[in-house]
Amino acid sequence: MNSLFWIIFGYLAGSFPTGYLAARAVKGVDIRTFGSGNVGATNVGRLMGKKWAVAVTLADMIKASVGILCARAAGVDDSWTIAFTGFSGVCGHNFPLWLGFRGGKGVASTYGVVFFLHPPISFFLAPAGGIIWFALLKLKGYVSLASLISLWCLPVIAALLSFPLPFLLLLTSLAVLSTVRHRENILRLFEGKESSFKK
């Protein structure tokens, strides 16, 4: 099967609106009208608590990595195809077909792709990013800030670990994409209006 098939497949799998469906099913709420309006796990957590935030995080990680997992299982070993399929998985979450292309900010979905990107070493890269994320959250209290800094650490650590070029470009592109998706959070951070777990 050709690369385009896997890129489209990755996008469709990533498009599954996990947070939206969870909020609709459990609370009958359109998550896009609540809190930050984001369909991601942080906003689901605001509405439904920590357990649901964790569940949606895991589901978002899995759905975005389905493309690269299936491609590999089908024998694809071309790094460019894997990189583009991973990118399309995160794009599926950020611009989902089922929600009029208005989705999330791609943090959990990026971590899902990163975990399975370049095994076995990526099994350590994703948790390393997770530790940075957690430490920053504890220190500063802002999920968005922790997400952005940890995402930008990933290509740097991956470069130190000699990841192949397509994967380094993928990690950098995902950090850029997520930064753009967080533009309102960044503005709020500068204005001191971002919601914090410390306040």
Site residues (CB under 6 A) for ligand G3P? 36, 38, 40, 42-43, 105, 107, 143-144, 147, 185
For residue 191, the minimal CB distance to ligand G3P (Å) is: 14
For ligand G3P, give the closer residue by CB, 65 or 185: 185
How far apart are the C-alpha atoms of 178 and 172, rounded to whole Å? 10
In the DSSP assignment, the letter for residue 197 is: S
For ligand G3P, give the closer residue by CB, 71 or 153: 153
For ligand G3P, give the closer residue by CB, 37 or 127: 37
For ligand G3P, give the closer residue by CB, 71 or 107: 107
From the list 40, 68, 94, the residue with the least C-alpha distance to 167 is 68
For residue 2, the minimal CB distance to ligand G3P (Å) is: 33
From the list 130, 106, 117, 131, the residue with the least C-alpha distance to 161 is 117
How far apart are the C-alpha atoms of 197 and 128, rounded to whole Å? 22
Tell me if 85 sits within 8 A of 4, measured CB to CB.
no
For residue 37, the minimal CB distance to ligand G3P (Å) is: 8
Distance of CA 51 to the CA centre of its chain: 18
For ligand G3P, give the closer residue by CB, 18 or 36: 36
For residue 182, the minimal CB distance to ligand G3P (Å) is: 6
For residue 180, the minimal CB distance to ligand G3P (Å) is: 13
From the list 47, 95, 87, 42, the residue with the least C-alpha distance to 67 is 87
